[in-house]
Amino acid sequence: MEKAKLKNKKIAVLMGGRSGEREVSLRSGRNVLNSLKSQGFKAIQLDADNKLIENIKKNKIDIAYIMLHGKFGEDGTVQGLLEHFNIPYTGSRVLASALAMNKVASKRIFLATNIPTPQYMTIDPDEDIKKQCEKIKRIFPFPLVVKPTSEGSSLGVTIVKEEDDLEKVLADTVKKFKDVFIEEYIKGREVTVGILGAGDNLTALPILELRPKAEFYDYKAKYTEGGTDFILPAKLPKDLYKHTQETALRAHMSLGCYGVSRVDIIIKGNHTPYVHEVNTIPGMTDSSDLPAEAQCAGISFDELVVKILESAF
């Protein structure tokens, strides 16, 4: 739909929500809202709280611009709700959103489509943790990574260096998040690749390399000013750079993502990009990766906001 026609539509920026990433979502959402308003769009803010259905009906919105991160927003739940009300919305549809949010489901698809991803093992929260730790120790070298299955912004992620620490870390993570998995630790260069568009217009943005001052790119490193050094575009050999962008595009397409995503990758040595995860609603804060990558490609923040808006159609 043309930009001029979109300006006649009532757009609700959905933000906030119930996940552990609520504050980041509010920051992303307000940036998008301000951009839409400054460009002449009829935009309002809607918090995805327990009155969301009531507010959607009351405000009679035409388009939902989803700026929710984590559970109950990035995982297909809100997308399904909007489809029920026949309201167009930005970004990936229900299935792709659910698959991308569930890191184990994503990995199964990556492996089935020959996309490199770190090896993993699921944890049964109802089975004996001690016995599962014994199995893990037989399979995985240390260090290894403990991760919640369906959280964003690296919430709950722990690198376990010593075998003696595994049982406590695993028990604590299962208690807090329930669905948890073990992942092979790959030491390498952390990069992220934004994806924009659809069909023949699908494009990989310039690669951003992240050099966190902490042990890895965790929640604090992501959202604390000065916590990470950003190299944009990443200084990679030409062939590896192209291969990494192609791998990101394949990961995006393998899950059926649409309109926008950000693919997080670890590059081992100087040859293999391993896909960690695909984020279907990348952050749009002042320090977020996607806007920086877009700017490097000559796309302003306002232009990026409109490109994502167009994905609703």
Catalytic residues: 21, 153, 223, 262, 264, 277, 279, 283
Q: For the chain, how far is it from start to end, CA to CA, in angstroms?
A: 7
Query: Phi-psi region for residue 74, left (φ > 0), alpha (ψ -120 to 50) or beta?
Result: alpha
Question: In this structure, what token pair is assigned to residue 81?
Answer: 């709700």
Tell me the sheet residues that pair with 279: 262
Sequence-distant (6+) residues with CB within 8 A of 284 are: 28, 29, 31, 32, 67, 290, 291, 301, 304, 305
3-state secondary structure of 46: strand
Residue ranges with strand state E in the chain: 10-15, 42-47, 63-66, 120-123, 144-148, 158-160, 180-184, 189-197, 203-204, 208-212, 228-231, 259-268, 272-279
Distance between CA atoms of residues 166 and 153, nearest Å: 22
